[in-house]
Amino acid sequence: MGSILDGKLVARALRADVRRRVDARREPHGTPGLAAVLVGDDPASRVYVNNKEKACAEVGIRSVGRRLPTETTTEALLDVVGELNEAADVHGILVQLPLPAHVDAEAVVQKIVPSKDVDGLTMVNQGRLLAGSPGLRPCTPLGIMHLLAETGAVLAGLEAVVLGRSQLVGKPVAMLLLEQHATVTLCHSRTRDLASTVRGADIVVAAVGRPELVRGEWIKDGAIVIDVGINRTAEGKLIGDVHFDEAARRASWITPVPGGVGPMTVAMLLANTVSAAEMAS
């Protein structure tokens, strides 16, 4: 039976570290600030933004909430982001996605100045990741790498299989794994034989959004399994992209859902905000 990689525990330690960094800067430089832009009244988005703001408060980061009505136009949103780009007391800007369908979400995200792009989604920060130069990295992939570091595994030379090629998770985590000298295979919906590809993996990162797609028999003995997926069952339970009970029998380490990658994503957002503030002064 594999050991559980407890994201809540690791995230708690990370938040304590962020708190120390915030405290250390407050006197000379002021409090780091994070602006969360929320458009409309999507209940899930509201919960996410509230949680992020609560997490900010716990580590001493100042939240600058911008709640805007559903009918907000792209132009108005671009103006809001433009103002936040200029605000000296705002160090990080996040635009909660998805935005309403009439808004040009790409234009809004790309308007964020790269030095405040704490979600790491601007072209500049994505390009920096690809080039291997310093920049703000997306939070979920950073959280995954931090969890992998917790296992003590040396990634150099290991076979890593990433399921999912999104801009938010799959592609950036593949680049970060490559940076650590893993041999990376990036799978997606057209991959011919997912099961046999995963069977060769020392590290499996599942980010597809398909409940329990990855079965225990796909997992190589001793593999590390990181389950990014968040899927809600008909009964309202949250489950991952990996069949946890089956996979845990073979894995050396496995993340639970919930309580694995999720808490790390929020902790990394806080860490990125302090990093952005540190880089600004």
Residue closer to ligand NAP (CB basis): 86 or 193? 193
Q: Considering the complex, what minimum distance in angstroms separates the CB of residue 216 from ligand NAP?
A: 17
Q: Is 132 helix (H, G, I), strand (E, B) or coil?
A: coil
Non-local (6+) Cβ contacts of 211 within 8 A are: 229, 231, 233, 239, 240, 241
The answer to whether 119 is a known catalytic residue is yes
- Strand-pair partners of 62: 33
Position 237 contacts ligand NAP (CB under 6 A): no
Position 210 contacts ligand NAP (CB under 6 A): yes
**One of 45, 110, 180, 191 touching ligand NAP (CB under 6 A):** 191
The answer to whether 52 is a known catalytic residue is yes
The answer to whether 116 is a known catalytic residue is no
Judged by CB under 6 A, the chain residues 140 through 159 that form the site for ligand NAP are 140
DSSP characters over 69-126:
-TT--HHHHHHHHHHHHH-TT--EEEEPSSPPTTS-HHHHHHHS-GGGBTT--SHHHH
Position 187 contacts ligand NAP (CB under 6 A): yes
Position 188 contacts ligand NAP (CB under 6 A): yes
Q: In what order do the strands lie in the sheet with 92-95?
A: 62-68, 33-39, 92-95
| Binding range to ligand NAP, per CB under 6 A, among 35-43, 62-70, 146-154, 186-194 | 186-194
Pairing of strands 253-254, 203-206: unpaired
> Shortest CA distance to 93 belongs to which of 78, 103, 81?
81
**One of 51, 189, 233, 281 touching ligand NAP (CB under 6 A):** 189
Position 164 contacts ligand NAP (CB under 6 A): yes
Cβ density class 245-263: b for 16+ within 10 Å, e for less = ebbbebbbbbbbbebbbbb
**One of 115, 265, 272, 275 touching ligand NAP (CB under 6 A):** 265
Residue closer to ligand NAP (CB basis): 80 or 271? 271
Which residues are annotated as catalytic? 52, 96, 119
Site for ligand NAP, rule CB under 6 A: 140, 163-166, 168-170, 187-191, 194, 207-210, 213, 228-231, 261-262, 265
